[in-house]
Structure formats: C-alpha cells, structure tokens
C-alpha cells in the first residue's frame, strides 16, 4: 500500500514539475517573442519615418533647384542683354513662394530626425536648409552682380550638401 501511495505521489510530482517547466518555458518564449515584436515594430516605424523624411527632403530640393533653374534663366537673359519672356518674373516669384513654403517640409523632417535620435542627419539637414536660405537671399532678380558662374557654384554646393544629407540618411536607414 505504501508503494502505491509513493507511486501516486511520485507521478503527481513528475506531472507538477513537468507543468511548471512547461509553464516557465512558455512564459520565456512568449516574453522573448513579444520583445522581438516590439523591436520589429519600432524598426518598421523608424523606417517609415525615414522614408517620409526622404520624401520631404526631396520636395524641398526640387523646389530649390526649380528656383535655381529660373534664376539662371533670368541671369542668362540679363548677361546677354536680351529681353526675358514676359512670364519669367511670375515663374521666379512662384518658385520663390513654393521654396518658402517647402521650408515647412524641411523643418518637419528635422523634427522627425531629432525624434529618432539621428542628430548628425538633423545637423546636415539644418546646414542644407541654411545654405539654400543663403542662396535664396543672394539670388534674386534685383541682384545685378549675380552671374551665371555664381549660380553654377551655388548649384554645385547645393547638390553636394544634398548628397551628404542623403548619405547620412542612408546610414541611419541601414541601422
């Protein structure tokens, strides 16, 4: 009889230990999976933000280069002492307004970069925006000292700063 009681106790202990081990293992695996899901979700959100940032930066760059293109057209007419098309002034004014409005996109992109901790990228974005602002202040229709060579220099530097900005953004994206 004592052997039967011991067999029952032995079986109960084995079942209990098996259930305990199974419960601990299930909890550990579930916790690990949850942590990985949270990390994956965070990475996906960061990638979405970086894609939005890239789009906003490109909108700003397109506006800056559009303004540059109209300004170089204006300067070429002035340097050649030819009459510009009647709508050129309106196109330049429209591009200047569009560029001004696109600074909102660049500021939004900078904020997102700060949010995700990409301070190097944010500083490059700020530098890019500041340079385009300097370009905009010097490249205007009333600046008679502006030359085609000046505008080509501005374009070269704008494209260089844009490339540096995207190189850093790509590095953040790869993380």
pLDDT at 34: 84
The residues near 172 (Cβ < 8 Å, ≥ 6 apart) are 50, 113, 116, 118, 121
pLDDT at 41: 87
- 3-class DSSP assignment, residue 146: coil
Torsion of the alpha carbons at 56, 126, 164 and 98, rounded to the nearest 10:
40
Cβ atoms within 10 Å, residue 129 = 21
Per-residue pLDDT of the chain (175 residues; tens, 9 = 90+): 566 878 888 888 889 888 889 889 888 888 888 889 888 988 899 999 999 999 999 999 999 999 999 999 999 999 999 998 999 999 999 999 999 999 999 999 999 999 999 999 999 999 999 999 999 999 998 898 999 999 999 999 999 999 999 999 999 988 7
The pTM is what? 0.80
Ordered by start, the domain boundaries in the chain are: 46-174
């Amino acid at each position: 009889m004592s052997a039967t009681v011991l067999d029952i106790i032995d079986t109960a202990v084995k079942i209990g230990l098996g259930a305990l081990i199974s419960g601990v293992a299930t909890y550990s695996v579930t916790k690990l999976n949850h942590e990985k899901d949270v990390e994956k979700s965070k990475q996906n959100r960061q990638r979405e933000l970086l894609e939005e940032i890239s789009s906003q930066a490109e909108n700003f760059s397109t506006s800056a280069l559009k303004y540059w293109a109209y300004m170089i057209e204006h300067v070429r007419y002035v340097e050649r002492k030819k009459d510009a098309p009647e709508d050129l002034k309106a196109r330049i004014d429209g591009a200047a307004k569009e560029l001004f409005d696109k600074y909102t996109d660049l500021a939004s992109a900078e904020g997102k970069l700060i949010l995700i901790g990409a301070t190097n990228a944010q500083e490059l974005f700020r530098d890019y925006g500041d340079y385009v602002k300097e370009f905009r202040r010097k490249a205007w229709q009333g600046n008679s000292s502006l030359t085609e060579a000046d505008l080509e220099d501005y374009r070269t530097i704008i494209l260089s700063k844009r490339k540096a900005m995207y190189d850093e953004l790509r590095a953040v994206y790869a993380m």
